Structure 1
Amino acid sequence: MAVSRAVASPVAVSQAIAEVPCPKPKVAKPSAPPRPVPPAEVAEDMAVGGPALATHGLVVPEGSAGPPALTATTWLVADLGTGEVLGACGPHVHQTPASVQKMLLAATAIDQLDPARKMTVTDGDLDIEPGSSAVGLVVGGTYSISTLWLGLMLNSGNDAANALARLAGGGGPDGLQKTVAAMNARAASLGARQTHAVTPSGLDGQGQFTSAYDLALIARVCFASADFRKYVLTKTAQMPAQKKPKVGGFQFQNENKLIYNYPGALGGKTGFTTLARHSYVGAATRNGRTLVATLLGAEARPLRGWEQGAALLDWGFALPAGTSVGKLITPEEVAAAARASSVTTEATSAAGGAAVQAAHPSGPTGLTVVAAVSVAATLIAIPLLLLLTQRRQRRQRSPADQRPPTPAA
């Protein structure tokens, strides 16, 4: 008997097909604190990337092989080159991010900070949750920005996250919060509507959320950066010794096992907190295609986060090129939609004002009702023409125009 699946078809969506549960392994769930209450869902936000993505359940191409059974609560597989979403489970459902949020910090700040610049660690940089991951920075120690990025990506250092955020925000006592605000602005500019950062590291914070779809948008920006690709593919790095205070140097390793075990792996980011559970982002290239897998709310058994990511990548690479159930929206499309919305708002306001003026003419500036209607119709038509032009331009744009630079080996 064939398994029923939601497919990327407006017709299917309009028929309100029942949501299909995502395949799960039969394992006992460990005890964990209650998940935080997510924000109310917005129908428009749930449909970003295509109407078939507006589901809490499974959406895969019609006739495709079933995806792997995973403990991840939500996940998504996408082509970083074309932006095609190959399949997903609850792609727009709010989840807590854990350390995969460090990728949003990278997407916001990696181009702002000179990797060769030296910095000195402050007490505030080490203000992290006791027992949480740290790369081992010491107050008063001097480190290069590139060392901080390596500590952030390889060892998931929350101390490195604080230091980088402070510096990107100007270096002052309010620098970290300025960068968190910039992270939220960056997420909005990418179309990541379920993402709200409270901490730069992904350590739990009230009201902090993301989604599998949003992580793919963020990953697409990150993997377009040569510096980011270099950092996440680095297997080992050296923390320099410090003279004052006197601390010896040491080596640290990349915790993302994908780069050691998966052919064509490009790297990514691991994450875990007791509240968020395991999260993971991993990318790989094969036969000219570069795919990314994002997953949230997973358990480590029977498969660890990176192994679940690898299983999703295998499933995605097995699908024919061009397969799609939706798309990753581009920053250009987000900006165009914002401009169109602004023009529409201005047109509506102007049309309303014209109608009022027509109803209550005042001397030589008064308009007749016919003139007011004419003005309103003209103003309302402007955004419609802009939208049609933008859509025509997007259809004419070659998919290759949106491909990120060829990833480093």
Structure 2
Amino acid sequence: MCVPTNAQEADTPTDTPTEAATPTTGYFDDAGNWVPPARDAAPDTDNCPQATWPPEPVSTSERAASTPDALPVTYDGPCGVSAAEGYEVPDDVLASAWLVADLDSGDVVAMKDPHGRYRPASIIKVLLALTVIDELPLDQKVAVSAESAGQEGSAAGIGEGGDYTVEDLLYGLLLSSGNDCAHALAQALGGDEMTLLKINEMAKTLGMTDTRATSYSGLDSAGMSTSAWDMGLAYRAAFDNPTFADMVDTESYEFPGFGDLPSFELWNDNKLYLNDPDGIGGKTGYTDDANHTFVGAVNHEGRRLVAVVLDTTINNDHRAWEQAQMLLHEAYGVSGSVAKLAPANTDEPETTTAAPSPAAGDDAGQEAGTAWNRWWSYAIVAGVLALAVLVTVLSLASTKKRRQRR
């Protein structure tokens, strides 16, 4: 059987494995689509199995190219589930890694394997969208080539020679995850290589230390890597961008036609947005190697929350967006946090457990720490004074010797 190189959202398998399909190892269905192994529970990540590299690929997408070295590991913390008091992880969440955070405060309510490296699929398109919004006017015309229109995977439906603006193509990129729109926008940014440089620089600027984009559309390629934490950083920045936030908070958009094809309604493919009354947008993702990925956000009673889901399956009839929805709803009413969603290079601490500190309410520990700091400060001052005295004595002695020689 021919093994497909990759598949994007348009080719996402929807059937669950049968007993005869050896579901513990995954399989290719009659259409040649990869169906991931069945899961009864989320994978155990307590021992940080993906600390340096994503799981082994199941397709041929990464075999032709040389694989770059793994990104440096900057995280030294727990890889299992961390959750604020009162938060209970839903049993039907099957993702290897996930995160739930407050978009405004950055408080992380709960997370699992936050810095584990996984493939992002199309949720990485957020970096392309932010770069385009920063650099290109929305009303700028973009020429569409046959190469752009013929991109593999999910597509908005652009055509060679069509009349499109940057705004049109961004809607196609975000609402229907159009790889065709991604390619056209990349050419407007200076071409494929230049676009990859720019979106990786964007990731670096946002503090995304687990992320390397080797394709701007999310299609699998050698070296592709991200984490739930990094996607949280990216989408926190994205939802603070009014243009991005307005676009993903759109049910449908009148998309231009081309040639004899008239304009048509382009619908948002984010089911959480369409089915949850509090939904404010996000992004879908799927490839054979990444499995299902998803980002969804809600505004619940004035509190904006985002959920990132990486490497999940659709077993038990719960699709990726439903798993994200369960994670979000569980956060309603939970006020605590386990971390602060901020880049490692800022003054904000990444996690509340990253450095040892006295426990809340531990007066003895706090007094001991204060006493130690006070003693250490005194010791430093005393040392400086002693050094000054020594320098003065040596200087006087030297002066006396010079006078005696005269």
Larger radius of gyration: 2
1:19-38 deviation digits (Å, cap 9, x = unpaired): xxxxxxxx955435873499
Equivalent position of 2:396 in the other structure: none
Note the residue ranges of structure 1 that are not aligned, 5 or more in a row.
1-26, 48-53, 170-174, 336-369, 375-409
Partners of 1:278 and 1:326 in 2: CA distance: 25
Alpha-carbon shift at residue 143 of structure 1 (Å):
0.6
Equivalent position of 1:95 in the other structure: 118
Equivalent position of 2:176 in the other structure: 155
In angstroms, what is the RMSD of aligned CA positions? 2.8
Matched, 1:304 2:351: no
Residues 10-409 of structure 1: pairs in structure 2 closer than 5 A? 30-31=26-27, 32=34, 35-36=56-57, 40=70, 42-43=72-73, 45-47=74-76, 54-61=77-84, 63-69=85-91, 70-126=93-149, 128-129=151-152, 132-169=153-190, 175-242=191-258, 245-302=259-316, 303-320=318-335, 323-330=336-343, 333=346
Partners of 1:293 and 1:39 in 2: CA distance: 29
The one-letter code matched in structure 1 to 2:249 is: L
Cα pair distance change 1:118/1:41, threshold 3 Å? closer
The one-letter code matched in structure 2 to 1:163 is: A
The alignment partner of 2:184 has SS state of helix
Partners of 1:278 and 1:39 in 2: CA distance: 25
1:177-218 deviation digits (Å, cap 9, x = unpaired): 111111111111111111100111101111011100000000
The alignment partner of 1:269 has SS state of strand
The one-letter code matched in structure 2 to 1:153 is: L
With structure 2 as the length reference, what TM-score do the two structures score? 0.67
CA contact 2:142–2:185 (8 Å) conserved in 1: no
Alpha-carbon shift at residue 250 of structure 1 (Å):
2.3
Alpha-carbon shift at residue 124 of structure 1 (Å):
3.4
CA contact 1:46–1:55 (8 Å) conserved in 2: no
CA contact 1:38–1:94 (8 Å) conserved in 2: no
Partners of 2:227 and 2:103 in 1: CA distance: 17
Q: Percent identity?
A: 37
Partners of 1:270 and 1:205 in 2: CA distance: 18
Equivalent position of 1:399 in the other structure: none
Alpha-carbon shift at residue 331 of structure 1 (Å):
8.6
Alpha-carbon shift at residue 84 of structure 1 (Å):
1.1
The one-letter code matched in structure 1 to 2:120 is: P
CA contact 1:100–1:271 (8 Å) conserved in 2: yes
With structure 1 as the length reference, what TM-score do the two structures score? 0.67
CA contact 2:75–2:115 (8 Å) conserved in 1: yes
Cα pair distance change 1:42/1:161, threshold 3 Å? same
The alignment partner of 2:307 has SS state of strand
Cα pair distance change 1:56/1:331, threshold 3 Å? closer
1:123-169 deviation digits (Å, cap 9, x = unpaired): 3323533xx10111111212111110111111110010111122123
CA contact 1:55–1:92 (8 Å) conserved in 2: no
Partners of 2:330 and 2:163 in 1: CA distance: 45
CA contact 1:233–1:266 (8 Å) conserved in 2: yes
The one-letter code matched in structure 1 to 2:268 is: N
Partners of 1:334 and 1:324 in 2: CA distance: 18
Equivalent position of 2:5 in the other structure: none
CA contact 1:191–1:334 (8 Å) conserved in 2: no
Higher normalized helix content (fraction of residues): 1
Equivalent position of 1:360 in the other structure: none
Note the residue ranges of structure 2 that are not aligned, 5 or more in a row.
1-18, 28-33, 37-54, 58-66, 349-386, 392-406
The alignment partner of 2:197 has SS state of helix
Alpha-carbon shift at residue 116 of structure 1 (Å):
1.6
The one-letter code matched in structure 1 to 2:300 is: R
CA contact 2:208–2:343 (8 Å) conserved in 1: no
